[in-house]
């Protein structure tokens, strides 16, 4: 069974996923996660892959929100006091992706954006793009799709307005 | 009567309005302009304000598509062989905006993005953001909202899927 690589993320109207310092203080007005199908999505995720900036931001928020979910942090630096199930991996995302596929992961949450998204797209490991598009222009911050992201086509699956003016948009990678 | 400053533009999923060289060859799969209400929008526009890059790109496409519509190009360089109705203005966008308001313009099309959008937002002259969001990640190009665009909130008016997987999204500037 093929592994599905799934980006699920909140993004500003100008395509940023965090302020320059990594903070997401501009989120929280978009209504409850249930509106975006979070519980069902999370239940179907076998593993999480994230960048170091995302890991650090999530860690700074308090209790680890993914207990027991295998999580790989793409980083060359050590992860002191990492929660159970969290491991660090440097460098080769293609090898990591192959391992997760061999391990039988049906769906992997590619969390965060920036370098990890760019690299996953470059090796053809991004199938679904699911976004909560917030009605906010930040004007600065970390882009979901940085310069150098591969030129790619997507198929619109659905787009639904949610509370607070957020859009719940789902795309599939086009052939 | 208050002037409405209206950005109406096609943008990629990663928020780019043109490739690095200004080209929009990635457009054209989004179905006819009628789907995005272009004719009614254009008929209600009293003037157009655009940046030099947008002007040069439009000029390179062939016949001038806005005959008889007063158009101001924000540029410090001359406009050789400009079509009738097209004028060049350098620098002070606040003065330009005041002139168009005094002249009785009810709706001004702020065409293009980048510096002009950033500057218009900075002086509070952008009320409506209407986008054809194309299902395409470019990975490079001119952003609709460049770094330094003011942090602003928007209210979702509508979002409608169109042919080819484009989204027709309309936002109003929130107070």
Q: What is the pLDDT of residues B31-41, one digit of tens each?
A: 777 888 999 99
Q: Which residue has the higher pLDDT, A175 or A67?
A: A67
How far apart are the CA of A84 and the nearest CA of chain B, in angstroms? 35
Q: Which residue has the higher pLDDT, B107 or A112?
A: B107
pLDDT at A30 over 70: no
Nearest beta carbon to residue A153 from set B135, B150, B155: B135
Taking residues A79-92, what's their average pLDDT? Answer: 92
A44 touches chain B (CB under 8 A): no
pLDDT at B97 over 90: yes
Q: What is the 3-state secondary structure (H, E, C) of chain A?
A: CCCEEEEEEEECCCCEEECCCCCCCCCCCCCCHHHHCHHHHHHCCCEEEEEHHHHHHHHHCCCCCCCCCCEEEECCCCCCCCCCCEEEECCCHHHHHHHHHHCCCCEEEEECCCHHHHHHHHCCCCCEEEEEECCEECCCCEECCCCCCCCEEEEEEEEEECHHHCEEEEEEECC
A163 touches chain B (CB under 8 A): no
pLDDT band, very low/low/confident/very high, at B30 (cuts 50, 70, 90): low
A136 touches chain B (CB under 8 A): yes
Span B4-173: which CATH code? 3.40.430.10
**Sole residue written with tokens 């989120």:** A27
Taking domain A4-109+120-132+152-169, whether its CATH number is 2.40.50.100 is answered by: no
Q: Which residue has the higher pLDDT, A22 or B74?
A: B74
End-to-end CA distance of chain A: give it in Å, rounded. 19
pLDDT band, very low/low/confident/very high, at B91 (cuts 50, 70, 90): confident
**What is the pLDDT, as a whole number, of residue A108?**
98
pLDDT > 90: percent of chain A: 82
Q: B135 to chain A: which residues are within 8 Å by CB? A: 153-156, 171, 174
Q: Which residue has the higher pLDDT, A66 or B34?
A: A66
How far apart are the CA of B110 and the nearest CA of chain A, in angstroms? 17
Work out the number of other CB atoms within 10 angstroms of the CB of residue B113. 26
Q: Which of A83-87, A154-158, A162-166, B84-88 bottoms out in mean pLDDT, i.e. has the lowest?
A: A162-166
pLDDT digits (tens, 9 = 90+) for B107-158: 999 998 788 999 999 999 999 999 999 999 999 999 999 999 999 999 999 9
A167 touches chain B (CB under 8 A): yes
* Residues, chain A: 175
Q: Say yes or no for a CB contact (<8 Å) between A154 and B121.
A: no
Choose, out of A9, A132, A135, the residue to mutate when testing the contact with B (most B CBs < 10 Å): A135
């Amino acid at each position: 069974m093929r592994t599905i690589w799934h980006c699920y993320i909140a993004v500003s109207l100008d395509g940023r996923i965090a302020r320059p310092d990594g903070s997401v203080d501009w989120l929280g007005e978009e209504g409850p996660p249930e509106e975006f199908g979070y519980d069902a999505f999370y239940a179907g995720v076998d593993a999480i892959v994230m960048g170091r900036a995302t890991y650090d931001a999530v860690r700074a928020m308090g209790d680890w929100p993914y207990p027991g979910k295998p999580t790989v942090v793409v980083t060359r630096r050590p992860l002191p006091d990492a929660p159970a199930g969290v491991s660090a991996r440097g460098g080769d995302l293609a090898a990591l992706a192959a391992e997760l596929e061999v391990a039988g992961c049906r769906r992997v949450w590619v969390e965060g954006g920036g370098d990890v998204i760019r690299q996953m797209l470059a090796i053809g490991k991004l199938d679904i793009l699911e976004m909560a598009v917030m009605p906010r222009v930040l004007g600065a911050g970390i882009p979901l799709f940085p310069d150098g992201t591969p030129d790619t086509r997507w198929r619109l699956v659905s787009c639904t307005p949610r509370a607070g003016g957020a859009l719940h948009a789902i795309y599939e990678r086009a052939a």
